[in-house]
Each structure stands twice: as C-alpha cells, then as structure tokens.
Amino acid sequence: MLFATILSVACNTDSKEAGNEEEEEQTDERPAKKKNGAAKMAADVCGCITPLTNTLSPDAKRVFERAMKSDDPENTTEEEILKLDEDRQMKVAAEMEVIATAFQKEDSELNNCMNKVSKKYKDEPEDPKKAIRDLIKEMEKDDDCELGALIFKSYMESGMEDTKNNTNNNDDDDPVKNEE
C-alpha cells in the first residue's frame, strides 16, 4: 500500500497544491515551476521520513547508510551489524524492524503522512520516471533528509523490482536505476 502511495506522490511532483483552484497560465517559466514543485514535494516527503530516521541510533544510521549505498544492501547490512557487539546488534535490528514496519504497515504514521502528501498533489506529470528521479535528487539536497532519501530510493527500487517481477518489464523501465 505504501509503495502505491509513494509512487503516486513521486509521480505528482509538478502538480498544484490541493485547494488551489485557480488555473495557471502556461509560460516559458513552467519548467522552473516543475523544479519548485519537486522541491516542495521533496520537503513534504522528507517531513514524513525524517522524524522516523531521527529516532535511529548512530549505529543504525551507519548501517542504513552503508547498506543503501552498497550494490548488495542485504549482505552489507549483515556485515555491518556483525561488526557490532551483541547488545548493539540487537538494538540496530530492532530499529531496522521499526523502519520496515513503518513502510509496510498501512496505518503507520509514515503511511498516514505520505497519504496526506499524496492528496496535496494532484496532476500526473508528463514523465513519471523523471518525476521520481527529480524528487529523489531534491530530497538528497537536504542534509537533514539524506538518510531518508537513501531509504526512499531503496524502497522505490524494491517496489520497482516487485512491479517488474509481476509485469516482466526490464531495467530500462526503472526510473530510479536509470538516473543517468
């Protein structure tokens, strides 16, 4: 459920805010407005994710950061956790479970916040893949949201993998992996 919400949110980065009923004239400045829309949406998405990432211990943050930047997140996570003493391993494992639950549980604070963000933005962008990339790039610019951006990007990639596995698409259809 959260993946669908995030995809919906990410695909609406150039939309108007809810409640703004005035039609805007299209001008040559429209691309700049799209960028501002992505920046605004990134701030809103970061506002949902950052409170969750701020609860993480330095150990958990380090494990997440290294894993999310790795080509093999699962093995990197395991390797990083094994470097810790037993008490810290248990604490980090519990923190990772909280993050996973927040992304998976339909009525979690994170999901509720993302649903509100999704409702705030209406229109479909012309290029949803580019909209997702732009959203993640904007999130990465915020130092307070760097870890949230990594987690969001990883979540989007895993969701894209699930979608591809169900529809037999190839990597060319993955907006997150094909950034360049």
- Domain assignment present for residue 19? The answer is no
Full 3-state SS string of 93-112 = HHHHHHHHHHHHCCCCHHHH
Among 17-31, 104-118, 142-156, 166-180, whose mean pLDDT is lowest? 17-31
151, 50 contact by CB (below 8 A): no
Query: Which pLDDT score is estimated for 129?
Result: 78
Query: Does the residue 145 lie in any domain?
Result: yes
The reply to whether 144 falls in a domain is yes
The percentage of the chain sitting over the pLDDT mark of 70, rounded to a whole number, equals 67
Q: Is there a domain that residue 16 lies in?
A: no
The reported pLDDT for the residue numbered 15 is 41
Average pLDDT over the chain reads: 76
Q: What angle do CA 135, 141, 144 make, to 5 degrees?
A: 105
Which tokens hold the place of 13? Answer: 């980065």
Q: Tell me if residue 121 falls in helix, strand or coil.
A: strand
160, part of any domain: yes
Q: How far apart are CA 33 and CA 24, in angstroms?
A: 11
Quick one: pLDDT at residue 19? 40
How many independent structural domains does the chain possess? 1
88: in domain: yes
The answer to whether residue 115 is domain-embedded is: yes
> What is the residue range of 85's domain?
2-9+31-173
Q: Is residue 14 part of a domain?
A: no
User: Which is higher by pLDDT, 151 or 2?
Assistant: 151
Q: Which span out of 76-85, 109-118, 120-129, 162-171 was modeled with the highest average pLDDT? A: 76-85
Determine the pLDDT at residue 56.
96
Residue 175 to residue 171: CA distance in whole angstroms: 9
Residue 88, pLDDT above cutoff 50: yes
Given this model, what pLDDT does residue 163 score?
Answer: 43
Query: Does pLDDT of 171 surpass 80?
Result: no
Per-residue confidence (pLDDT) for residue 126, from 0 to 100: 80
User: Where residue 177 falls among pLDDT bands split at 50, 70, 90?
Assistant: low
> Is residue 97 predicted with pLDDT exceeding 90?
yes
pLDDT tens by residue, 115-167: 899 888 876 678 877 888 899 999 999 999 999 999 888 877 776 555 444 44
| Mean pLDDT to the nearest integer, 1-21 | 45
